[in-house]
Amino acid sequence: MKKLLFLFGCLLCLIVIGCSNQSDGKQNNAGKEGSDKTVTYESEQGPVEIPADPQRIVALTNGPNVFALDGNLVGVDEWTKANPLFEEGMADVEVVSENDPESILALEPDLIIAGSHMENLDELEKIAPTVIYTWGKLDYLEQQLEIGKLLNKEEKAEEWIDDFSKRAKADGEKIKEKHGEDVSVSVFETDSKNFSVFGDNWARGTEILYQAMELGMPEKVQEDALAEGYYSLSLETLPEYAGDFIVLSKMGANNEFTKSETWKSIPAVENGQVIEFDTKEATYSDPVTLEHLLKIFEEGFLK
């Protein structure tokens, strides 16, 4: 009888263990299914099946937009990596290029973001689902919203857009109250030898100044830079394009041009109404960059 009870007990244990393992197996499979869930993203090139929650993103373009939404970046382009604003946050992110698909493959991405102008797009699509954007097709706010949709973080993107737009517009109103409704601003960039002036959608804070704040643009800038986005100048012609304020995007530390009589004679320079920043920190129009520039503009225009 004791032997029979012992055998029955062993059989019962085996049944319990088997059920437990089956249950664990179902849980593990469920977890795997959850991580493998995909959604269809309507890209400008058509529908693309992408991970619902991408964990290894290679951003050959729009890396800063992804970073601003806490996307899981594993690879970015060299320009994004070199930007001082992202140096700390992207310390462990690799530099990759569309011209070296093997370096991208090695990162085992589950989502790739690329530009329509790039090469080897067919090769990238073989590595992972690839979403392609055309630079300038969307404005700076629409682009952030689109990245939000891509990462299943649309609500977070919308919240930032609404908040930032209100704050920038309010700052614009304060600037006009202080300096006049018709106050104008020019955005110049220089490496001390070459000069450019920008329109209203070429980064360097132009979207904030002209679109969000609705500040004035000098007539000559409208004529020559608005359509193309930028216009190349010489030092001698800078005064013709200068507004009441000058925003100066500087490449490098050579400031010899500031010693010239041409520069010194510009009214904005004489009045101490020049706002400067490093070009490396201003070549994108993502939330991190825009917040950084907004603080600079608040200080420069209002304090």
* 67 pLDDT higher than 90: yes
Interval 113-122 mean pLDDT: 97
Interval 20-27 mean pLDDT: 41
Judge if 38-152 and 169-302 fold alike in CATH terms: yes
β-bridge partners, 227: none
Tell me if 201 sits within 8 A of 164, measured CB to CB: no
* 17 pLDDT higher than 70: no
* 16 pLDDT higher than 60: no
* 24 pLDDT higher than 70: no
Interval 198-217 mean pLDDT: 98
* 29 pLDDT higher than 70: no
Q: How confident is the model at residue 7 (pLDDT cuts 50, 70, 90)?
A: very low
Interval 45-52 mean pLDDT: 97
Cα maximum dimension of the chain: 112
Q: Residue ranges of the alpha helices (H) in the chain? A: 2-35, 63-68, 78-82, 101-105, 121-127, 140-150, 154-179, 206, 219-225, 238-241, 261-264, 267-270, 287-302
What is the pLDDT at residue 269?
Answer: 98
* 178 pLDDT higher than 60: yes
Q: How confident is the model at residue 5 (pLDDT cuts 50, 70, 90)?
A: very low
What is the pLDDT at residue 35?
Answer: 55
In angstroms, rounded to a whole number, what is the distance separating the alpha carbons of residues 285 and 303? 24
CATH of span 169-302: 3.40.50.1980
Q: How confident is the model at residue 192 (pLDDT cuts 50, 70, 90)?
A: confident
Q: How confident is the model at residue 128 (pLDDT cuts 50, 70, 90)?
A: very high
What is the per-residue burial (b if ≥16 Cβ within 10 Å, else e) of 266-300?
Answer: bebbeeebbbebebebbbbbbbbbbbbbbebbeeb
Mean pLDDT taken over the chain: 91
Interval 135-164 mean pLDDT: 97
Cβ neighbors of 103 (< 8 A, separation 6 or more) are 75, 94, 96, 97
* 66 pLDDT higher than 90: yes
- pLDDT tens per residue, range 214-260: 999 999 999 999 999 999 999 999 999 999 999 999 998 888 999 99
pTM summary value: 0.87
In angstroms, rounded to a whole number, what is the distance separating the alpha carbons of residues 163 and 115? 28
- pLDDT tens per residue, range 264-279: 999 999 999 999 999 9
Taking the domains of the chain in order of start, what are their residue ranges?
A: 38-152, 169-302
Planar angle of CA 187, 192, 196, nearest 5 degrees: 35
Residue range 38-152 forms a domain whose CATH class is: alpha beta
What is the pLDDT at residue 193?
Answer: 87
Q: How confident is the model at residue 30 (pLDDT cuts 50, 70, 90)?
A: very low
